[in-house]
Chain A
Amino acid sequence: MSTAEIDRQWTTKLRRKVAGKLPPEKLLPDTQPSYVASWIYVFGVATLASLGVVIFTGCILAIRGPQWWHGSSYGHFINSLHLWSVEIFFFTMVIHLWGKFAMAAWRGGRTLTWMTGVVTFLASIATAFTGYASQTNFDSQWITTQAKDGINATGAGAYFNVLNLGQMLMWHIVLLPIAAVVLTALHVVLVRIKGVVPPFEDDVKPATQKVAVGE
């Protein structure tokens, strides 16, 4: 097999493209710019950690099924862990959003990073909704009978039937977690590729500034 033939392979081209954009030292860096010096920067990783706890506790609930927690004090405790990790997830994610807005973190070609973050936020709200719809208690009865009116008004209710527990549960434990994890991974990979956004330069003269140009 010749070198030219290997170079033409899809595998080779993909590997080189990926390794070029995200070499190991960018994927797992051992330094960071010295302007990263604020507690505001911890809320991204805190959100990731919360997502980890949400998924882990969700998996335990999935092992025993959707009714388990009503009749088992251990199951109810796992449900409590799942609920509070979701509260912490939204707590840290919104503070992360506030911080990134304050930094205008989309600058320097990071528009897609911002956008994947917003879509992940919206997907998280949808995931939380299907979770509340799957509780199999009074709260889920009320939430679904009310939410149906809003969702029906968009036309989506004909296909996304919030009163159908089976459908809501499968969206909650299969489709939306996959979407949330994929979107989160894309978001984090983009941060690793582009790096953390540099500070605004307050006293820079525009004509002399060497830039990382935004999109």
Chain B
Amino acid sequence: MAAILSFAAIFPLNTLGHYIHWHWIYISVANLTVIILMVLTFVGALFLPFPGRRRRKENR
């Protein structure tokens, strides 16, 4: 609670970064997480059912 009132972050990420070195690829865990989340979000957006199917069928 005190942390929120002082606007301090709960889990600040200020420690030295973690990096993954694979062949010639060298990427931070943070960036890799973002990229993986983007791919998962894109795939999820393609596959997850979109609500309102019955209404669309009625209006065809």
Interface residues of A (CB under 8 A from B): 34, 37-40, 42-43, 73-74, 76-77, 80, 87, 91, 94-95, 98-99
Contact = CB atoms under 8 A, between A and B. Distances in A.
A40 B45 contact: yes
A68 B52 CA distance: 47
A76 B38 contact: no
Given A38-B45, A42-B45, 19 more contacts: A34-B56, A37-B50, A37-B53, A38-B50, A39-B45, A39-B46, A39-B48, A40-B46, A43-B45, A73-B7, A74-B7, A76-B7, A77-B7, A91-B34, A91-B37, A91-B41, A95-B41, A99-B42, A99-B45
Contacts, number: 40
Chain A contact residues: over half helix, strand or loop, or mixed? helix
Given A40-B46, A95-B45, A73 B38 contact: no
A121 to B, nearest CB: 15
Scoring B6, B44, B45 by chain A CB atoms within 10 A of each residue's CB, the highest score goes to B45
B8 A73 contact: yes
Given A73-B8, A74-B7, A98 B42 contact: yes
B38 to A, nearest CB: 6
Nearest to A31: B59
Contact of A37 (B9, B34, B46, B52): B52
14 contacts: A34-B56, A34-B60, A37-B50, A37-B53, A38-B45, A39-B44, A40-B42, A73-B8, A76-B7, A87-B34, A91-B34, A95-B41, A98-B42, A99-B45
5 nearest interchain CB pairs? A77-B7, A39-B45, A73-B7, A34-B56, A40-B45
Contacts of A38: 45-46, 50
Interface of B: 6-9, 34, 37-38, 41-42, 44-46, 48, 50, 52-53, 56, 59-60
Nearest to A43: B45
Contacts of A87: 34
Scoring B44, B56, B59, B60 by chain A CB atoms within 10 A of each residue's CB, the highest score goes to B56
A112 to B, nearest CB: 25
A38 B52 CA distance: 10
B49 to A, nearest CB: 9
Contacts of A95: 38, 41-42, 45
A189 B49 CA distance: 28
A76 B6 CA distance: 10
